[in-house]
Amino acid sequence: MKVISLIHTTLYTLIMKSTVKFSVVIPTRNRDASLRNLLNKILNQTLPPFEIIIVDSSDIKQSSYESMNKSIKYFYTTFKSAAKQRNFGINCLSKDAKVLFFLDDDVNPNSTYFEDMLTTLFSLKAVGVSGIAINPKKNERIKPISLIGFLKRISFLDSNIDGKLLMSGIGIPVRVRDAGAIEVEWLIGCSCWDLQKIKELRFEEDFIGYSLGEDVIFSVQARKLGKLFVNSNIVLNHLELPQTDSKVIDYYYMWVYYRFRLHKYVDSKIDFYLAFYLSILSKVTLSLISLPLKPIMSIKQIIGLTLGLVNIFTDLFRR
């Protein structure tokens, strides 16, 4: 029976992968060169999409992307928010689209990326899947070790469990390689989704800029509709160009303020609040510890964390 089931699953996957119409939504801003590189990579895939939707919030409107291929659809918007731009792209999808990919404009997928992702999605009958995003210019994140690692674990800043979404709202990435598909509790922004299962879902729209954390909130809602998986065999090079390498103060402000929004979607708000504020206290402590070695960086981190908290409490008092 197991052999018959495996054959059935394999045939189903092959048929779906080769016939399904899938779309790609790419939010972009002021990155013409990297976007063109990505479009060329997409058009040369072993299994290319039937439509590519570009949602551009650049300072200057572009006009030449659609000439690259008839599958490309270009939209210009004044929304300077990756979350809003993704929603705009969802609303522009063809009615024939069955699977949706989100890609950032600074990624570099290999030639079988779409084929491998679709295989994972269909073989596991998942609601959403992703690969591992690696920045070649940065050190890969490792599991927490030593006394600092212990502090991070007990204060809900980190975990040894890959793919976990901590009670504090911090998502732990998959850090292992070549271990196949792993069921997880959240997915990164560059991901693949079964449109039939998430057709009513949208990103929260009052994120600004590159919308730090919007992928976690989207994942939390999607996970109520089905399982999420990361295929650790699929590696996506994510260059993280300067625009997304946000200023330290802005980053930590968003790290606090946007993460707090998860309280609307968790089962136990009390557990979330305790873990959330404990993680911030721990982060401030770590910044103070590193103050003698990295004074400017540490001060900026503390300022950003403080501003995030101030905004949270300001919102609460306004209600």
pLDDT at 241 over 90: no
pLDDT value, residue 16: 59
> What DSSP string describes the chain?
-HHHHHHHHHHHHHHHHHH--EEEEEEESS-HHHHHHHHHHHHTSSS--SEEEEEE--SS----GGGG-TTEEEEE-S--BHHHHHHHHHHT--TT--EEEE--TTEE--TTHHHHHHHHHHHHT-SEEEEEEE-TTSPPP----HHHHHHHHHTTS--SSTT-B-TTSPBPPP--SS--EEEES---SSEEEEHHHHTT----TT--BT-TTHHHHHHHHHHTTS-EEEEEEEEEEE---TTTS--HHHHHHHHHHTGGGGGGT-S-HHHHHHHHHHHHHHHHHHHHHTTTTSHHHHHHHHHHHHHHHHHHHHHHHH-
First to last CA, the chain: 59
pLDDT value, residue 10: 58
pLDDT value, residue 265: 93
Mean per-residue pLDDT for 31-58? 96
Confidence of residue 66 (pLDDT cuts 50, 70, 90): very high
What are the structure tokens assigned to 123, written together? Answer: 């073989």
pLDDT value, residue 317: 86
pLDDT value, residue 287: 96
Its CATH architecture, for the domain 2-140+175-238, is Alpha-Beta Complex (3.90)
pLDDT at 38 over 80: yes
pLDDT value, residue 13: 60
Choose between 208 and 52: higher pLDDT.
52
pLDDT at 31 over 50: yes
Mean per-residue pLDDT for 144-169? 95
Q: With pLDDT > 70 as the criterion, what percentage of the chain qualifies?
A: 92
pLDDT value, residue 1: 46
- How many whole angstroms separate alpha carbon 184 and alpha carbon 37? 30
pLDDT value, residue 141: 82
Mean per-residue pLDDT for 172-197? 96
Confidence of residue 245 (pLDDT cuts 50, 70, 90): very low
Confidence of residue 85 (pLDDT cuts 50, 70, 90): very high
Mean pLDDT for all residues in the chain:
91
- How many whole angstroms separate alpha carbon 129 and alpha carbon 136? 22
Mean per-residue pLDDT for 233-261? 83
Please state, as a whole number, how many other Cβ atoms lie within 10 Å of the Cβ of residue 256.
24
| Segments making up each domain of the chain, as ranges | 2-140+175-238, 248-318
Q: With pLDDT > 90 as the criterion, what percentage of the chain qualifies?
A: 80
pLDDT value, residue 9: 53
pLDDT value, residue 2: 47
pLDDT at 11 over 80: no
- How many whole angstroms separate alpha carbon 92 and alpha carbon 111? 26
Choose between 49 and 64: higher pLDDT.
49
pLDDT value, residue 239: 79
pLDDT digits (tens, 9 = 90+) for 258-309: 999 999 999 899 999 999 999 999 999 999 999 999 999 999 999 999 999 9
Choose between 298 and 19: higher pLDDT.
298
